[in-house]
Amino acid sequence: MSDGTMNGNGKRSFKLMIVDDSNIMRRRIERSQQFEELQLVGSAANGLEALELFKKTDPDVVTMDITMPQMDGIECIGQLVALKPAIRILVISALADKATAVEAMERGANGFLNKPFTDRQLNEAIAELMR
């Protein structure tokens, strides 16, 4: 994982980007994640927007939906990992078949969380991602 950045308190912080075509879901993830060291740098509604936002914000951690318009999450994962191999990506998707999870991991995702999820499940998945 990337080293993040040192904040004013001498602690490391990591930049978070949330990618999901649902506003509700983006707000939910932002609201529910409990890691002080994760600082939200932006949200995107599809893979194309995510790539644009990536160039401006250089996130360390990404949550990624899969089924999105214009560019889906699988394609976006591949491109993000190519741009920044140390990036950590948690897929958060309703697609519950194993093949999709496998494909996401093969593209470079580091974790997979199915929707619907509880706050606890989200935070456990993020904790696992940041180990």
Partner 1 sequence: MLYEQELKTFVEGTTNFFEVAAQQPASIGSPYLMEGPPAVHEYTGVIKISGKREGVVYFTAPKAMLTVLLMKMQENDFSHETMRDLVGEVANTISGNARRDFGRDFVISVPSVLSGEKPEIPQKPGQRSFIIPINWRSHSAKLVVSLA
- 127 touches partner 1 by CB under 8 A: no
CB of 86 to partner 1, least distance (A): 29
- Using alpha carbons only, what angle is made at residue 5 by residues 53 and 108, rounded to the nearest 5 degrees? 55
For the segment 28-87, give every residue that binds partner 1 (CB under 8 A): 28, 31, 67-69
In whole angstroms, give the CA distance from residue 42 to residue 53. Answer: 7
- 8 touches partner 1 by CB under 8 A: no
- Taking the least distance from each CB to partner 1, the nearer of 25 and 87 is 25
- 117 touches partner 1 by CB under 8 A: yes
CB of 27 to partner 1, least distance (A): 7
- Taking the least distance from each CB to partner 1, the nearer of 68 and 87 is 68
Q: Classify the phi-psi angles of 39: left when phi > 0, otherwise alpha if psi is within -120 to 50, otherwise beta.
A: beta
- Taking the least distance from each CB to partner 1, the nearer of 9 and 118 is 118
H helices of 1-131, in order, are 23-32, 47-57, 73-83, 98-107, 119-129
**HSE-up of residue 102 (Cα within 13 Å, Cβ side):** 3
Pairing of strands 12-19, 5-6: antiparallel
- For partner 1, the binding residues (CB under 8 A) are 21-25, 27-28, 31, 67-69, 93-97, 99-100, 114-118
